[in-house]
Structure 1
């Protein structure tokens, strides 16, 4: 499957996804020369270029009637990732881990028509992810 990562995601996110999902292709606005292209023409262009899915943080694409129609008409699988409003390394690790964990379901699913996938962020607070124990001799 060919997957386009929207320009609201850091381009380097493509690399870990490509390592984990070696049978799939991940492209970015930089690699495709699509920086700054508005959403509606972008969705059509992605389909013309043979993409199967688009991944974005822009959840307004499904709320705006014109953009929603463009998603449907493109035939692309729409994958949304929630921005947790975190910063720096914390945001990067949550985004990458959410995509790695969630894209498996996108790839395994066989939709019968236009489909959206809204990936839930992996737990990211210390008590949710790590148990810290001080070891004593």
Structure 2
């Protein structure tokens, strides 16, 4: 599958995805020279360039009737990632881990028509990710 990573995603997410899902192609907006393009023409451009999916943080695309129609007409799989408004290392690890954990299911799914996937953010609170215990000597 050929997957486009929208410009609203940090560029660092592409390399871990390429490593984990090496049988798929991941391209960024900068690699495709599509930065700043409006959503409706972007979707048809991606289809013309043989993309199968778009990954974005822009969940409003499915709420805006014109953009929703453009997504459906493009035939692309729409993959939404929640924006948790985190910073630094916390944002990096949550975004990458959410994509790595969720993309497996997107790749395994056989859509029967225009399909959207809303990736659920991986739990990222300290008590959700780690248990800390002091060891008695």
TM category, shorter: over 0.9
Q: Secondary structure at the match of 2:79?
A: strand
- Counterparts of 1:32-111 in structure 2 under 5 Å? 32-111=32-111
Give how far 1:134 is off: 1.8
Alpha-carbon separation, structure 2, partners of 1:73 and 1:9: 23
Which consecutive residues of structure 1, in runs of 5 or more, have no partner in the other structure? none
The C-alpha deviation readout for 1:62-102, integer Å capped at 9, x for no partner, is 00000000000000000000011111110111010000000
RMSD of the TM alignment (CA)?
A: 0.6
Alpha-carbon separation, structure 2, partners of 1:123 and 1:134: 24
Normalised by the size of structure 2, how large is the TM-score? 0.98
Give how far 1:136 is off: 2.9
Q: What's 1:125 paired with? A: 125
2:22 corresponds to 1:22: yes
Q: Secondary structure at the match of 2:117?
A: strand
The C-alpha deviation readout for 1:35-70, integer Å capped at 9, x for no partner, is 101110000000000000000000000000000000
Q: Secondary structure at the match of 1:55?
A: strand
Give runs of ≥4 in structure 1 deviating > 3 Å: none
Alpha-carbon separation, structure 2, partners of 1:13 and 1:32: 16
2:13 corresponds to 1:13: yes
Give how far 1:26 is off: 0.4
Give how far 1:9 is off: 0.3
> How many aligned positions are there?
137
Give how far 1:125 is off: 0.3
